[in-house]
């Protein structure tokens, strides 16, 4: 991500004291292993004679911390946190507006145990510094096995036998599916940032703690190719896999025409299996491609079937070809507005096993179902007429995801040429939009808006709904915002701590079914009782577990029940605060 220097860095601004405290809390929440490392540092510093030594908590967010927005050479937007001297500490990678907080290698060197570690061979590091991802055959499996990490979670990459992180990235595959001697190929870790890249160069360019000279290290990893090193690698990976070619391992083996055919089959499968006539349209073509088409590629082709490897090269051109066949209708190049469900191509299509099905099947076989909660919004008032004017498929019960709303509004602004001529950063609402923005209290509607602010304002005037998709059930549309599962610790008589869990019934979980698993997990007594404000006719139950068990219960709900962390609310009554 940082093979080239970050571009378009905006002016740096200092973090206020309140923002520093919030950022510290955010870091400790997202990196639970960090807290134990900090506590160890605090304990070890109690014997220090220098009373002015820096607090470990001030190391993660120093008093002079500054932040600035940036763009990477890959077009990824983000925010970087640095010291006053522009020494990088953390950065947020903005992926579809779900920010991923990532430590710099400098921060990882101070707290090397804050992330799970994936070991590799020292000669592979040179490939990673060149921009490659860590491939599965490049993993140096330790005798104790790999740490348990799910797909998409952050990890650090270390050289075999070392504890010092050299890179940070996200797992491309669950470590549960990886084992020594496996013939599985593909990307293991999507590398985001690595020692020696341009983000590292922004700092003091110091070496990892175990290395006395960064230049010497760079020379070593580029030149070490002795027979002994090759022999080490051949013990771990198949003899027919050369480390020098790991990053090219998934170069397509299919012809362009074969990719075209598989792309088309994935398109048909996405319409039949994922989009379905019940899905609200319009929808952005980018959303359809990433969230619907790509998961419907045939199993085993995920690294070969890509529109960039087809004759179409671009998503818009591919979907335009499908439109010419009469299967879909588009508005411009960016919006899917209609599907011809009676088209002969769909009627005669034979579905295949998809990569999404394979992943779900594996998860269920391992006892890890997935509960999906998706927020959507329903038009009301003048927004209904506005949306109907943009698409012929809007019904009274149509709901939209945030990205769909954004696409509709931005397309309208563009097609109606509402940009401010003097400052294109702003748009000037016309009468239909001003009618939507009109405030009942009579407050004057601003004459100019930043595009994204306008989208958010329109969305705020829509009704909140959400889909709940339970394992083995059809999606259920519910009114209002999603309800949180509440886990709280409180102190009872005699300073006994109990952990209470509420709200399970909303997501298809019977509290009585969880008593035995929680008893074994927490090694504590567990009881189920009606909540205090529960209706006698339809009682809601709460689980009570003896002891401070928030972390264990939360992990159980996420890992075993597949419940999203975003909708788990934890409260410690004794400490009077959420965490």
The larger pLDDT score, comparing residue 209 to residue 564, is at 564
Report which DSSP code applies to 106: H
**Do residues 229 and 275 both lie within one domain?**
no
- Of 386 and 334, the structure prediction assigns the larger pLDDT to 386
Better-predicted residue by pLDDT, 55 or 505: 505
Domain match, 288 and 417 both: no
> How would residue 75 be classed by pLDDT, with cut points 50, 70 and 90?
low
The strand order across the sheet containing 134-135 reads 117-120, 154-159, 165-171, 187-194, 134-135
Mean pLDDT of 70-99: 77
Look at residue 98 in the predicted model and tell me its pLDDT. 60
Average pLDDT over every residue of 216-224: 39
- Verify that 446 and 572 share a domain, yes or no: no
Query: pLDDT tens-digit profile of 385-403?
Result: 888 887 655 666 778 888 8
* Higher pLDDT pick, 369 / 64: 64
Q: CA–CA separation, 219 vs 215, rounded Å?
A: 6
Hey, is 490 helix, strand or coil? Answer: strand
SS3 357: helix
Percent of all residues in the chain with a pLDDT value above 70, rounded to a whole number: 81
Angle made by CA atoms 195, 201, 205, in degrees to the nearest 5: 75
| CATH number of the domain enclosing 435 | 1.10.245.10
Give the range with max mean pLDDT: 18-22, 233-237, 444-448, 522-526: 522-526
pLDDT for res 235: 38
Give the C-alpha separation, 169 to 77, whole Å. Answer: 16
Predicted local confidence at residue 171, as pLDDT = 92
Which residues lie below 8 Å from residue 137, measured CB to CB, with a gap of 6+? Answer: 185, 236, 237, 238, 241, 243, 246, 249
pLDDT band at 472; cut points 50, 70, 90: low
Q: How confident is the model at residue 456 (pLDDT cuts 50, 70, 90)?
A: very high
Q: Which of 375, 335, 396 shows the shortest CA–CA distance to 483? A: 375
Yes or no: say if 339 and 288 are a contact pair by the CB < 8 Å rule. Answer: no
Task: Pick 32 or 108 by higher pLDDT.
Answer: 108
Residue-level pLDDT at 43: 65
Radius of gyration over every alpha carbon of the chain, rounded to an integer in angstroms: 27
Q: How far apart are CA 177 and CA 187, in angstroms?
A: 13
Q: 7: pLDDT confidence band, cut at 50, 70 and 90?
A: low
pLDDT per residue over 513-552, tens digit each?
999 999 999 999 999 998 877 777 778 899 999 999 999 9
Which of 5-9, 44-48, 425-429, 451-455 shows the lowest mean pLDDT across its residues?
Answer: 44-48
For residues 491, 496, 502 and 504, what is the CA-based torsion angle, rounded to 10 degrees?
150
Co-location of 225 and 297 in the same domain: no
- Spatial strand order of the sheet with 541-546 comes to 526-530, 541-546, 496-502, 485-492, 568-572, 577-578
- Computed over every residue of the chain, the mean pLDDT equals 80
pLDDT at 332 over 60: yes
Confidence at 363, pLDDT banded by 50, 70, 90: very low
In a domain, 387, yes or no: no
Pair 167, 314 in one domain: no
DSSP letter, residue 212 = S
> Containing domain of residue 492, as a range?
485-578
Q: What DSSP line would sit under 149-199, residue for residue?
A: --TT-EEEEEETT--SEEEEEEESS-GGG--TT----SEEEEEEEETTSHH
In a shared domain, residues 269 and 238: no
Cα 279 → chain centroid? 23
Within this chain, do residues 81 and 216 fall inside the same structural domain, yes or no?
Answer: yes
H/E stretch holding 265:
helix 256-269
Confidence of residue 480 (pLDDT cuts 50, 70, 90): very high
Q: Which band of pLDDT confidence, cut at 50, 70 and 90, is reported for residue 229?
A: very low
Does residue 384 fall inside a structural domain?
no
Confidence of residue 48 (pLDDT cuts 50, 70, 90): very low
Name the more confident of 224 and 21: 21
Same domain as 511, residue 431: no
Angle in degrees, CA 339, 341, 344, rounded to 5: 115
Q: Calculate mean pLDDT across residues 449-474.
A: 88
Torsions phi, psi for 553 (to 5 deg): -65, -45
Tokens of 181: 């001697």
* Confidence check: pLDDT of 38 > 80: no
Co-location of 159 and 59 in the same domain: yes
Q: Is the peptide bond before 282 cis (omega within 30 degrees of 0)?
A: yes
Residue 456 maps to a domain: yes
Helix (H) or strand (E) holding 412: helix 402-415
pLDDT at 327: 94
Q: What is the pLDDT of residue 33?
A: 81
State percent of the chain over pLDDT 90: 28
In a domain, 166, yes or no: yes
**Both 72 and 187 in a single domain?**
yes
Closest to 259 in 3D by CA, of 306, 298, 293, 208: 306
Which CATH number characterizes residue 524's domain? 3.30.780.10
Q: What is the DSSP string of 304-373?
A: T--GGGSSS-SHHHHHHHHHHTTSEEEETTTEEEEE-TT-HHHHT-----BHHHHHHHHHHHTT----EE
Are residues 504 and 553 part of one domain? yes
Please report, for the domain that includes residue 224, its CATH number: 3.10.400.20
Beta-ladder partners of 375:
466
Residue 457: pLDDT over 90: yes
| Six-digit token string for 149 | 């990490």
Give me the pLDDT at residue 479, please: 92
User: Considering its fold, how many domains does the chain have in total?
Assistant: 4
- Residue 519, classed as helix, strand or coil, is helix
């Amino acid at each position: 991500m940082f093979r080239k220097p970050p571009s378009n860095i905006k002016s740096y601004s200092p973090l206020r004291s309140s923002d520093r405290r919030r950022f510290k809390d955010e870091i400790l929440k997202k990196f639970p292993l960090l807290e134990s490392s900090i506590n160890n540092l605090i304990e070890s510093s109690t014997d220090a004679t220098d009373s002015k030594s820096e607090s470990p908590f001030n190391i993660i967010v120093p008093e002079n911390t500054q932040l600035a927005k940036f763009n990477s050479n890959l077009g990824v937007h983000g925010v970087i946190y640095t010291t006053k001297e522009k020494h990088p500490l953390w950065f947020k990678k903005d992926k579809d507006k779900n920010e991923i907080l990532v430590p710099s290698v400098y921060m990882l060197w101070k707290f090397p145990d804050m992330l799970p570690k994936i070991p590799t061979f020292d000669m592979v590091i040179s490939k990673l510094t060149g921009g490659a991802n860590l491939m599965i055959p490049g993993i140096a499996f330790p005798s104790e096995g790999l740490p348990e990490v799910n797909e998409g979670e952050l990890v650090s990459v270390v050289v075999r036998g070392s504890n010092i992180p050299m890179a940070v990235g996200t797992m491309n595959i669950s470590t549960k599916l990886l084992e020594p001697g496996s013939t599985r190929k593909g990307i293991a870790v999507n590398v985001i940032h690595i020692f020696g890249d341009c983000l590292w160069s922004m700092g003091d360019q110091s070496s990892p703690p175990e290395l006395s000279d960064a230049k010497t290290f760079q020379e070593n990893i580029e030149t070490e190719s002795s027979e002994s090193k090759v022999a080490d690698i051949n013990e771990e990976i198949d003899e027919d896999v050369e480390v020098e070619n790991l990053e090219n391992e998934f170069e397509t083996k299919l012809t362009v025409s074969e990719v075209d055919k598989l792309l088309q089959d994935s398109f048909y499968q996405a319409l039949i299996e994922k989009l379905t006539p019940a899905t609200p349209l319009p929808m952005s073509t980018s959303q359809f491609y990433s969230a619907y088409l790509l998961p419907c590629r045939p199993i085993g082709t995920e690294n070969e079937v890509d529109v960039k490897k087809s004759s179409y090269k671009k998503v818009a051109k591919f979907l335009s070809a499908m439109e010419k066949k009469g299967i879909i209708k588009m508005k411009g190049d960016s919006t899917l507005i209609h599907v011809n469900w009676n088209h002969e191509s769909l009627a005669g299509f034979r579905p295949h096993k998809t990569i999404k099905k394979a992943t779900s099947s594996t998860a269920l076989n391992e006892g890890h179902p997935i509960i999906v909660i998706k927020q959507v919004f329903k038009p009301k008032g003048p927004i209904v007429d506005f949306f109907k004017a943009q698409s012929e498929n809007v019904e009274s019960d149509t709901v939209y995801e945030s990205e769909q709303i954004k696409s509709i509004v931005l397309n309208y602004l563009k097609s109606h040429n509402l940009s401010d001529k003097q400052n294109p950063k702003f748009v000037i609402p016309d009468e239909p939009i001003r009618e939507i923005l009109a405030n009942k209290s009579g407050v004057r509607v601003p004459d100019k808006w930043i595009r994204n602010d306008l989208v958010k304002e329109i969305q705020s005037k829509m009704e909140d709904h959400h889909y709940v998709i339970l394992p083995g059930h059809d999606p259920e549309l519910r009114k209002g915002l999603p309800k949180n599962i509440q886990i709280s610790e409180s102190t009872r008589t005699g300073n006994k701590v109990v952990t209470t869990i509420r709200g399970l019934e909303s997501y298809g979980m019977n509290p009585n079914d969880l008593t035995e698993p929680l008893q074994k997990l927490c090694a504590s007594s567990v009881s189920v009782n009606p909540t205090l404000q529960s209706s006698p006719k339809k009682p809601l139950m709460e689980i009570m577990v003896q002891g401070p068990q928030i972390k264990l219960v939360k992990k159980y709900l996420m890992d075993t029940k597949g419940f999203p962390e975003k909708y788990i609310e934890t409260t410690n009554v004794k400490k009077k605060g959420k965490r």
